[in-house]
């Protein structure tokens, strides 16, 4: 992106090699830059500019976190962990947005949005472990604690009254980061590889004196090699669903094979309780959207921040929709270990470029789902199930926003990838390619469970009738 901001040019991550002293950063900056306040506007505004510089770094760190930590989502299998990562990423997007809004009120923050190469290099390193649990340990054992420390440094360095608007934000963010550490703790696995990798990232951060340069650089921490000098990141060919069995698709016409029988959904004679379970399976399988949407961030490093912000919201929405099904199904007697997870969408879309993935998602799957979901919602209302009605209403509301995001951002993504055809023409060609590719890929994915073991339409029917 074009930028006129001087903070866009490459600079060392380290911005201040003096130890954290507790005195306002701005006062120290002024002492180090004794420019006559009567003759220099830079000197006059040094106190603000110093804090704007830190905010700019924090903005870039949060921005890069959401671009890179998203790669953990489809590489890690536990649904609750995927949901939590989506939530943390959405909160990071919020931090970045508020930092940008407040930063732009301050002289020296700059009007551009790009991330300096030193910061990008750290996050590009963090995604490289082949083992996603090791990568997760690095993000939460090295980078997030350093970010929390950076926010605490900001609070101690700024003036509590003069910079009150920033202070209130940073206090909120510190609370969020502390909560993130508690929330992720149950999912962190201790292993020698995780400990080594976490130490590697800590050394990189320590060599720069912390993420804001708030510490003395550790001369002993410079003895590390960059894994990124040896290899680069690639998406896995399939997404990780942990202990759950997989299949090509949960939709179909054969009630002996799949749980969501398309013709039953629209048949007025179908018991609404059957439709309720089928729609919860559908919602849980929005995990597909979580996994393939998460791949788009790292593939679009030069996208505008607002695009990534809306994608982060989209991602979190899909994770909540999936959680609707994941949490409701057991209440209706469904053993989740018998529900196969579909992976054709991820496996197919990851082979297509990001703007095509996003086009299929917003203009294809989402725009195409409203009519059938409206029929389903009307049937569910027969049950006087307030919770089901609520979940479906919020799902619909979110999906309307997602289609709006698509209209807003698809042309921008197309431009980023040099796609010049009209949107409709591009989408129709993309859909034809997707259909062909998905058919071929799906045909090669067998059922993870035997016919006796897996949930299907007839078993849902039997369960409802026995209730």
Nearer to Fe ion, 241 or 320 (CB): 320
Q: What 3-state DSSP class applies to 252?
A: strand
* Alpha carbons 175 and 180: distance in angstroms, whole number: 9
Stretch touching Fe ion by CB under 5 A, among 68-76, 272-280, 315-323, 338-346:
315-323
Which residues make Cβ contacts (< 8 Å) with residue 437, sequence separation at least 6? Answer: 348, 351, 352
- Report if residue 286 touches Fe ion, rule: CB under 5 A: yes
Q: Minimum Å distance from CB 320 to Fe ion?
A: 8
CA atoms within 13 A on the CB side of 261: 19
In whole angstroms, how close is the CB of 315 to Fe ion at the nearest point? 10
Give whichever of 8 and 399 is closer to Fe ion, judged by the CB atom.
399
Q: How many residues bind Fe ion (CB under 5 A)?
A: 6
For Fe ion, the closer of residues 143 and 380 by Cβ is: 380
Residues 417 and 354: beta-carbon distance below 8 Å: yes
How far is CA 159 from each of CA 17, 23, 426, rounded to the nearest angstrom? 20, 9, 53
User: Residue 357 interacts with Fe ion (CB under 5 A)?
Assistant: no
The CA-atom distances, in angstroms, between 298 and each of 214, 222, 227, 325, 343 are 28, 27, 17, 28, 20
User: Whose Cβ is closer to Fe ion: residue 64's or residue 318's?
Assistant: 318
Q: Give the span between the Cα atoms of 228 and 242, in whole angstroms.
A: 27
- CA–chain centroid gap for 463, Å, is 36
Quick one: 360 exposed, middle or buried, by C-beta within 10 A (0-12, 13-18, 19+)?
A: buried
Per rule CB under 5 A, is residue 402 in the interface with Fe ion? Answer: yes
Span of 62-70, 139-147, 317-325, 432-440 interacting with Fe ion by CB under 5 A: 317-325
| Residue 289 Cβ vs Fe ion, minimum distance, rounded to whole Å | 6
Task: State whether residue 292 is helix, strand or coil.
Answer: helix
What does the block give as tokens for 321? 């929709």
Residue 283 CB, shortest distance to Fe ion, in Å, is 7
To Fe ion, the closest distance from the beta carbon of 280 in angstroms equals 13
Helix (H, G, I), strand (E, B) or coil at 301: coil
Query: What does the block give as tokens for 333?
Result: 């007697």
Q: How far is the CB of 367 from Fe ion (least distance, A)?
A: 10
Q: 48 or 377, CB closer to Fe ion?
A: 377
Nearer to Fe ion, 27 or 372 (CB): 372
According to CB under 5 A, which one of 321, 341, 379, 454 is a site residue for Fe ion?
A: 321
In the complex, minimum distance from the CB of residue 318 to Fe ion, in angstroms, rounded to a whole number: 5
> Judged by CB under 5 A, which stretch of 5-13, 320-328, 348-356, 374-382 contacts Fe ion?
320-328
**Site residues for Fe ion, window 372-401 (CB under 5 A)?**
399
Binding site for Fe ion (CB under 5 A): 286, 318, 321, 366, 399, 402
């Amino acid at each position: 992106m074009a930028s006129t901001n001087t903070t866009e040019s490459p600079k060392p991550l380290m911005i201040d090699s003096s130890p954290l002293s507790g005195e306002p950063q701005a006062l120290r900056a002024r002492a180090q830059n004794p420019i006559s306040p009567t003759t220099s506007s830079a000197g006059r505004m040094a106190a603000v500019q110093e804090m704007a510089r830190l905010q700019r770094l924090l903005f870039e760190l949060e921005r890069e976190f959401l671009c890179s930590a998203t790669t953990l989502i489809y590489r890690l299998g536990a649904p609750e962990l995927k949901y939590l990562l989506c939530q943390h990423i959405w909160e990071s997007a919020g931090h970045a947005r508020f930092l940008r809004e407040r930063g732009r009120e301050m002289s020296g923050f700059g009007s551009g949005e790009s991330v300096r190469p030193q910061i990008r290099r750290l996050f590009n390193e963090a995604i490289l472990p082949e083992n996603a649990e090791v990568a997760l340990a690095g993000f939460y054992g090295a980078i997030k604690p350093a970010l929390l420390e950076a926010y605490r440094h900001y609070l101690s360095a700024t003036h509590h009254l003069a910079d009150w608007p920033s202070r209130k934000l940073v206090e909120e963010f510190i609370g969020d980061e502390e909560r993130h550490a508690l929330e992720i703790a149950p999912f962190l696995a201790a292993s020698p590889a995780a400990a080594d990798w976490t130490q590697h990232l800590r050394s990189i951060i320590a060599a720069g004196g912390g993420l804001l340069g708030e510490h003395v650089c550790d001369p002993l921490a410079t003895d590390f090699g960059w894994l990124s000098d040896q290899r680069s990141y690639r998406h896995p060919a399939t997404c990780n669903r942990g202990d759950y069995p997989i299949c090509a698709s949960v939709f179909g016409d054969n009630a002996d094979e799949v749980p969501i029988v398309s013709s039953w959904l629209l048949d007025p004679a179908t018991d609404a309780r059957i439709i309720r379970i089928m729609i919860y399976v559908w919602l849980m399988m929005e995990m597909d959207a979580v996994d393939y949407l998460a791949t788009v961030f790292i593939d679009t490093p030069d996208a505008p921040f607002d695009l990534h912000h809306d994608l982060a919201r989209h991602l979190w929405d899909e994770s909540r929709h999936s959680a609707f099904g994941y949490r409701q199904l057991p209440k209706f007697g469904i053993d989740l270990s018998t529900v196969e997870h579909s992976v054709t969408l991820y496996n197919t879309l990851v082979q297509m470029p990001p703007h095509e993935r996003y086009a299929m998602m917003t203009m294809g799957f989402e725009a195409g789902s409203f009519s059938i979901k409206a029929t389903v919602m009307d049937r569910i209302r027969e049950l006087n199930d307030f919770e089901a009605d609520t979940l479906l209403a919020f799902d619909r509301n979110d999906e309307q926003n997602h289609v709006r995001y698509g209209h807003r951002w698809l042309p921008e993504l197309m431009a980023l990838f040099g796609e010049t055809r009209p949107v409709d023409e591009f989408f129709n060609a993309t859909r034809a390619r997707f259909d062909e590719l998905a058919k071929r890929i799906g045909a090669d994915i067998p059922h993870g469970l035997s016919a006796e073991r897996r949930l299907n339409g007839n078993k849902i029917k039997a369960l409802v009738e026995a209730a």
